[in-house]
Amino acid sequence: RVLPAADMVPGWAAAVLGPQGAEAVANGGIVEAGWIIERRPGVQGVAGAADDGWVRLLDQAGRMIAAGEMVPGGLVQPRIVLR
């Protein structure tokens, strides 16, 4: 069975990005807070569930497009871009 990328790290919080945020991620740019259209908590009680600053970056269809890290100012820096 093949799992979606987002299911590999269910303990991480997620940020659903609008078009500007998804475009920024595709180019490795920092995601501004205003480009996040929805925030989702991580699943508690699973391996990897921690408030360590890592987040799943999702497009509007719910597909994980990157793994990012929270940086000062409420911004998210993509660290691993999947597409």
Q: What is the pLDDT at residue 43?
A: 81
33 CA to centre of own chain: 12
Q: With 0.85 as the threshold, say if the pTM is over it.
A: yes
Q: What is the pLDDT of residue 2?
A: 87
DSSP string, 30-81: PBPGGGEEEEEPPPTTSTT---SSEEEEE-TTS-EEEEEEEETTTEEEEEEE
**Residue pLDDT, tens place only, 2-56:** 888 888 888 899 999 999 999 999 998 999 999 999 999 888 765 555 556 899 9
Alpha-carbon gap, residue 36 to 71, rounded angstroms: 14
